Chain A
C-alpha cells in the first residue's frame, strides 16, 4: 500500500540516496543493497523537480513549499500544489524522500 502524502507534513531526502546537481539537473542514485549502481538505476529531476527538491529540508511542510514556489514562479497556487504533491508522491513511492517525524 502506498504511503499517503499530506500537505501538512515535511519531507526530507532519504539516507538511501545520493543526490547531486550536475549540469543543471539533480541526479539521484538510489543506494540499493549497499550499492549505488548508475548502470542500473539513475534518476534526474527536471526544473520543476529541482525546485521542489531544494526545499525538501524536513522543516517546511509541503503547503509552505508550494506557497514559496508559487511566489517564486509567479504561478497559480493550485497548479503548484498539484505539481508538488505529484512529485513528492512519486519520490516517496521510489523511496527517495521520507516524511520527517
Chain B
C-alpha cells in the first residue's frame, strides 16, 4: 500500500460526461439537488456555457411545459438539460431553446430533475422558472426561438460590422 494522503480535493480530476450523468443520477435518486457547470450552447441564452446550474429532484411530480429539465438523452445516453415544450400521452417533448431539432418524446422516467438555479459569473440569473417559461416553450416548440435567436445574433453582428 502507498503511504497516504488519500483524500484529495477535486484537484485535476476531470469528470467525463458519462461520469457526470451517473453522479447526477445518484444524487437526485437520494432526493437531493445536483449542482454542476454546464457545457454547451443548446440552451443559450438562458443557460450559457460555463454557467453553474442546479438540478433538483421532481419528488414524484411530473415536469411542466416550459420547465427546463435534466434528462438522459436518447441518442447519447448522457445527461442533457433542455426545455419541456409539450406534454403528450407518451411523455414529454423536449428541445433546446437554441437547437434546430427537438430531442423527441421522452417518457417521464428518463427525466432526472428540473433546473432550479442558474449562476453566471457569481450572480444568480432570474427567470429560470418564471411565468414566461410557457411562452418560451411555445416558441421553442415551433422552432421560432432558435430562429429568433439566430436573427438577433446576425443583427448584432451586422450592427457591430456597421459601427463606425
Residues of A within 8 A of B (CB): 18, 20, 22-23, 25, 27, 29, 31, 34-49, 51-52, 69, 73, 75, 79-80, 83, 86-87, 90-91, 94
Contact = CB atoms under 8 A, between A and B. Distances in A.
A40 B19 contact: no
What DSSP secondary structure best describes chain A's contact surface?
mixed
B1 A73 contact: yes
Interface stretch (B9-17, B77-85, B90-98, B139-147): B9-17
A2 to B, nearest CB: 15
Given A42-B9, A44-B13, A46-B2, A35 B19 contact: no
Contacts of A39: 35-37, 52
A44 B6 CA distance: 8
Contacts of B1: 47-48, 51, 69, 73, 75, 79-80, 83
Contacts of A34: 31-33
A40 B13 contact: no
Given A27-B13, A36-B32, A46 B8 contact: yes
A29 B20 CA distance: 12
Given A18-B23, A43-B9, 18 more contacts: A18-B26, A22-B22, A25-B13, A27-B23, A31-B30, A34-B33, A35-B33, A36-B27, A37-B35, A39-B36, A42-B9, A43-B7, A43-B10, A44-B7, A49-B7, A52-B6, A83-B1, A83-B4
A95 B114 CA distance: 28
Nearest to A22: B19
Interface of B: 1-4, 6-11, 13, 15-16, 19-20, 22-23, 26-27, 30-37, 52, 54
Contacts of A38: 15, 20, 23, 34-36
A36 B34 contact: yes
Contact of B23 (A36, A86, A94): A36
Contacts of A47: 1-2
